[in-house]
């Protein structure tokens, strides 16, 4: 008989993933990762025998538990289950899947409802960063319906404000991991930054692109993608990430002049396929580069005045708003805090039945 494992499938921001309470999964990492591969259907590129959606944005996992830290409520481990590969990557973070952690923690009774709004303090185990999510909980339960619209998601839902508390150097240990705001890699000017997600920012024009192409057009630009990947491999070494040929970080960002209403226009690769929108932590890293002098994004970005800035980042399906609080001066600012608004929705709750482990062939069979 098949054994079911308690699972909730949720849309978090512009991603979708399977959410688990940590105690429902094996404690041994190898056993856990093997189970997640079977649940999601990898390494099959279609994930036809699992619940993954055959796309990086829909092959994600959240593992949540009561926090071991006194200043947070729950611990969150993010896992990217690779499509078409037997690989579970827990090195990066995902701010979109993070958006669903607050509602999920309340649904599973890990965090009690306090009032019409419940604040859920989350520690991300992957990077050690902390965030505060504000979840709508009228009548003592999570409210998913609302009027907040985010580009890349049809319809509207209840807003989930997210305040990031300590994202600088989340993976690499430094805001600018190479020690410089401008790097020359393979003859290409780049900026390597980590304010929640390690990314490499590049000018689209340096790869024969305008930066306004569709994802399909970028995915078809094989020469440009090969050149970008060569930069990524070298950037990974310089950022202290080692050999990143089989890793999902650093993410690569092509930037171009802002269109109307934008701070800057972007196209992101995760890491070799164009993202339909933009990742949450990656968006904070891009916005950070836009406001700090000396980066390749700074001179191209259209920025509002003042020490609290709302920055609209353009992407293939619309606009992503990042709010940054700065200190220092306009000429020499520092980023103190980043925040944004996401939405999430529970899609189903129940038990998932993973594919069985490989069985030995019957005697006499080849």
Taking only the tens place, the pLDDT of each residue in 30-69 is 999 999 999 999 999 999 999 999 999 999 999 999 998 9
The alpha carbon dihedral of 208, 212, 216, 217 has a sign of negative
CATH of residue 13 = 3.10.310.10
Is there a single domain that holds both residue 160 and residue 14? yes
Residue-wise pLDDT for 185-231, tens only, equals 999 999 999 998 999 999 999 999 999 999 999 999 999 999 999 99
Is there a single domain that holds both residue 138 and residue 280? no
Mean pLDDT to the nearest integer, 149-177 = 92
Is there a single domain that holds both residue 137 and residue 207? no
Q: Mind spelling out the 3-state secondary structure of 241-307? A: CCCCCCCCCCEEEEEECCCCCCCEEEEEECCCCECCCCCHHHHHHHHHHHHCCCCCCCCCCCCCCCC
Is there a single domain that holds both residue 118 and residue 227? no
Is there a single domain that holds both residue 238 and residue 190? yes
Query: Does some domain include residue 276?
Result: yes
Taking the model in full, what pTM does it have? 0.75
How many distinct structural domains can be found in the chain?
2
Query: Does some domain include residue 48?
Result: yes
Residues 118 and 138: their CA atoms lie apart, in Å, by 9
Residue-wise pLDDT for 320-366, tens only, equals 999 999 999 988 999 998 999 999 999 999 999 999 986 444 433 33
| % of the chain exceeding 90 in pLDDT | 86
- Tracing tokens 């947070």 back to the chain, one arrives at 72
Q: Which domain holds residue 60?
A: 5-167+344-352
Is there a single domain that holds both residue 49 and residue 86? yes
């Amino acid at each position: 008989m098949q054994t079911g494992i308690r699972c909730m499938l949720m849309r978090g921001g512009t991603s979708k993933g399977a959410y688990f309470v940590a105690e429902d999964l094996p404690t041994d990492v190898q056993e856990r990762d093997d189970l997640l591969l079977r649940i999601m259907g990898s390494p099959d590129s279609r994930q036809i025998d699992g619940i993954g959606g055959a796309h990086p944005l829909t092959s994600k996992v959240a593992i949540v538990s009561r926090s071991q830290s006194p200043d947070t409520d729950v611990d969150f481990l993010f896992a990217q289950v690779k499509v078409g590969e037997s690989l579970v990557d827990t090195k990066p973070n995902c701010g979109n899947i993070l958006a669903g952690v607050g509602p999920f923690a309340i649904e599973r009774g890990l965090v009690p409802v306090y009032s019409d709004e419940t604040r859920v303090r989350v520690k991300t185990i992957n990077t050690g960063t902390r965030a505060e999510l504000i979840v709508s909980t009228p009548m003592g339960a999570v409210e998913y319906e609302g009027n907040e619209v985010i580009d890349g998601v049809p319809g509207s839902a209840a807003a989930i404000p997210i305040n990031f508390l300590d994202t600088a150097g989340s993976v690499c240990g430094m805001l600018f991991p190479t020690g410089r705001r401008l790097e020359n890699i393979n003859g290409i000017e780049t900026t390597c930054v980590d304010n929640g997600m390690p990314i490499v920012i590049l000018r689209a024009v340096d790869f024969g692109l305008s930066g306004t192409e569709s994802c399909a057009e970028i995915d078809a630009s094989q020469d440009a993608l090969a050149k970008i990947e060569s930069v990524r491999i070298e950037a990974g070494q310089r950022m202290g990430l080692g050999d990143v040929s089989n890793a999902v970080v650093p993410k690569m960002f092509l930037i171009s002049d802002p269109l109307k209403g934008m701070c800057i226009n972007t196209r992101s690769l995760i890491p070799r396929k164009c993202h339909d929108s933009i990742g949450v932590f990656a968006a904070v890293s891009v916005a950070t580069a836009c406001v700090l002098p000396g980066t390749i994004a700074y001179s191209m970005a259209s920025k509002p005045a003042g020490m609290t800035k709302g920055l609209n980042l353009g992407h293939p399906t619309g606009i992503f708003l990042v709010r940054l609080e700065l200190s220092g001066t306009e000429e020499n600012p520092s980023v103190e805090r980043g925040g944004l608004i996401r939405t999430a929705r529970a899609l189903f709750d129940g038990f998932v039945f993973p594919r069985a482990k490989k069985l030995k062939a019957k005697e006499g069979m080849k």
